[in-house]
Amino acid sequence: MMRPSTARPGGWPARGAALLAALVLALGAALVAVTPAAATPVPAVAGKACVFVRVSGAHGLGHTGWGYQSSTTTYTYGATENPSSSPYVPAGGDIGYWKESGSFTSMVNAMKTRGYDEYTCTTVASRQPAAAAAEALVVSGGGYAAATNNCMDHTYRILTAYGVRFPAQPSWNWAPRVWFDKITDDPAWSLPVVISSPLGVWKVTYCWKNFTCEVSEPWTFKTDGRVYLTDSNGNVISGPYTSTPPTASWLIGTATYLATVDGTTMKGTMSTPTGQTGTWSAERK
| Rounded-to-integer distance, Cα 77 and Cα 106, Å | 10
User: Do the Cβ atoms of 249 and 239 come closer than 8 Å?
Assistant: no
Sign, Cα dihedral of 83, 79, 236, 167: positive
Task: Share the mean pLDDT of the chain.
Answer: 81
Higher pLDDT, 275 or 246: 275
Q: What is the pLDDT of residue 225?
A: 66
- In this model, does residue 251 exceed pLDDT 90? no
Distance in angstroms between the alpha carbons of the first and the last residue of the chain = 125
Range name among 95-104, 165-174, 229-238, 268-277 with the lowest pLDDT average:
229-238
pLDDT digits (tens, 9 = 90+) for 79-101: 999 999 899 999 999 999 999 99
Query: Looking at the predicted structure, is the pLDDT value of residue 161 above 90?
Result: yes
CB 250 within 8 A of CB 271: no
Q: Tell me, rounded to whole angstroms, the distance of Cα 276 from its chain centroid.
A: 42
Task: Please give the Cα distance from 118 to 181 (Å, whole number).
Answer: 11
Q: How confident is the model at residue 231 (pLDDT cuts 50, 70, 90)?
A: confident
CA distance readout (Å), 176 to 58, 170, 242, 279:
9, 8, 17, 37
* Residue 26 pLDDT: 55
pLDDT at 159 over 60: yes
Specify whether the backbone of 65 is left (phi greater than 0), alpha (psi in -120 to 50) or beta.
beta
Average pLDDT over residues 168-175: 85
Give the pLDDT score at 73. Answer: 96
- How high is the pLDDT of residue 2? 45
Q: In three state form, how does the secondary structure of the chain look?
A: CCCCCCCCCCCHHHHHHHHHHHHHHHHHHHHHHHCCCCCCCCCCCCEEEEEEEECCCHHHCCEEEEEEECCCCCEEEEEECCCCCCCEECCCCCCCEEEEEECHHHHHHHHHHCCCCEEEEEEECCCCHHHHHHHHHHHHCCCEECCCECHHHHHHHHHHHHCCCCCCCHHHCCCHHHHHHHHHCCCCCCCCEECCCCCCEEEEEEEECCCCCEECCCEEECCCCEEEEECCCCEEEEEEEECCCCEEEEEECCEEEEEEECCCCEEEEEECCCCCEEEEEEEEC
Reported as a single tens digit per residue, the pLDDT across 181-216 is: 899 989 999 988 888 766 677 788 888 887 778 887
Can you tell me the distance from the alpha carbon of 53 to that of 82, in angstroms, rounded to the nearest whole number? 15
pLDDT tens sequence across 27-58: 455 444 555 556 667 689 999 999 999 887 88
